[in-house]
Structure 1
């Protein structure tokens, strides 16, 4: 699917974009040498200083699709099917292995009587379900917008993961997604940036690459240098270089 264009976000002095670029490039290089049946997911880890008192959910809008493929689950071919959306029969969906379903976005008809498995082992959390109504002339546009949204859910604890991309993305698109997710996440958590302790980037099997760490409480005189070191990934290990 081709991603809808969004205006670039203004630079934030708290987040070093160069740190994001280095982390994305290092992670994509590492994933390139670890082939898998489906592109591995890339996650933004948001660590808070204190857990929210109340549970909340927030949808973060990304400029590019964090999932590699999008399928419309239907047993008939709809009229005017966009080129960037494929149709998959419900019977074939049931036969897909969990690995094959990883990283897919399924558009499920809201008025369909198809028995589409939506829980348990049928569709894992690594997939995404988006309801669509083919009676709406703008269903494809609505589906594209929904596919660009990821959920930040905070229930208990202080660390949460948000999907921001996949291994097959272009580095520039992955960077834009990470920056947009960081800004949106920091804007919706209680006390906003004041409550953000650290941000990291990782895939399911990689180490967590640092993007941001909250400044030390010490004053400027004699304060420790809290800048994160440049990072590289090699053979699954995190290597640090002094700046």
Structure 2
């Protein structure tokens, strides 16, 4: 379920393409030596210099899907189900397999998504789809390459940009696109970006960018710790659920 990748713009000089390549290469190498039943997600940690006055939310469009797999939870088989989507019964909503929790989960709008219980939370992403709409597959393909950047409190947020099974060039392409999209939509744009890091749930945060005023400062170190803590907190919540 991979749509044609759009042309990738040249990376911003602030970012440094070589820094992205080194970080992605190191992280993928680390993930290879720490395998898991389902491919681990890769996160971009975006740290701002100052938090937005109001709640901030924006969808970032990536060239490639950051999810290793896509699942459709439905009790009826669509006529045009793509070959790369695995069909799951409605009962799977109560306890999704590990692969589904790491991937993109499409749910038939006619089904009720449980608000609690095992498997109800901690999923990669859940998107309702209307199977009666002939264009449902097109909408699903758009959702596959869309990730959410949301800042409610604090200055750091984790955005999913890839997974452990991606090729290095694919991961680099997604990271560069995510950085440019994030920097373009946050308040005051690049002027408000303090630091960028790349991280898997269990890995250290690898630096991609640090604003000149934040280089080596305690604020940058605190931002890095805050971002790592947010990813770790999310991982622990998924385990508890």
Counterparts in 2 of 1:180 and 1:120: CA distance versus 1, 3 Å:
farther
1:182 to 168, 179, 183: 179
Counterparts in 2 of 1:126 and 1:95: CA distance versus 1, 3 Å:
closer
1:200 to 197, 200, 214: 197
Write the distance in 1 (CA, Å) between the matches of 2:161 and 2:122. 14
Q: Is the 2:52–2:151 contact (alpha carbons within 8 Å) kept by the matching residues of 1?
A: yes
Q: Is the 1:62–1:177 contact (alpha carbons within 8 Å) kept by the matching residues of 2?
A: yes
Counterparts in 2 of 1:174 and 1:118: CA distance versus 1, 3 Å:
farther
**Paired position in structure 1 for 2:208:** 211
Q: Trace 1:118-197 onto structure 2 (pairs within 5 A).
A: 118-119=115-116, 121-197=118-194
Q: TM-score, normalised by structure 2?
A: 0.84
Map Cα deviations across residues 149-204 of structure 1 (whole Å, 9 max, x no partner): 11100111111110001101111111111001100110111110001010000001
**Paired position in structure 1 for 2:239:** none
Map Cα deviations across residues 116-161 of structure 1 (whole Å, 9 max, x no partner): 3255543334421112112222211110111211110011111111
**Paired position in structure 1 for 2:222:** none
Q: TM-score, normalised by structure 1?
A: 0.83
Q: Is the 2:73–2:92 contact (alpha carbons within 8 Å) kept by the matching residues of 1?
A: no
Q: Is the 2:100–2:124 contact (alpha carbons within 8 Å) kept by the matching residues of 1?
A: yes
How much has 1:101 moved relative to structure 2?
3.5
**Paired position in structure 2 for 1:32:** 32
Write the distance in 1 (CA, Å) between the matches of 2:194 and 2:71. 37
Q: Is the 2:69–2:99 contact (alpha carbons within 8 Å) kept by the matching residues of 1?
A: no
Q: Is the 1:64–1:173 contact (alpha carbons within 8 Å) kept by the matching residues of 2?
A: yes
Unaligned stretches of 5+ residues in structure 2: 216-241
Higher helix share: 2
Write the distance in 2 (CA, Å) between the matches of 1:136 and 1:67. 24
In the TM superposition, structure 1's runs of 4+ consecutive aligned residues that sit over 3 Å from their partners are 118-121
Write the distance in 2 (CA, Å) between the matches of 1:52 and 1:188. 12
Secondary structure at the counterpart of residue 157 of structure 2: strand
Q: In the alignment, does 2:13 pair up with 1:16?
A: no
Unaligned stretches of 5+ residues in structure 1: 219-243
Counterparts in 2 of 1:31 and 1:8: CA distance versus 1, 3 Å:
same
**Paired position in structure 2 for 1:225:** none
Write the distance in 2 (CA, Å) between the matches of 1:101 and 1:86. 9
How much has 1:100 moved relative to structure 2?
4.3
Higher strand share: 1
Q: Is the 2:73–2:89 contact (alpha carbons within 8 Å) kept by the matching residues of 1?
A: yes
**Paired position in structure 1 for 2:101:** 102
Structure ID, larger Rg: 1
Supply the RMSD in Å over aligned alpha carbons. 1.8
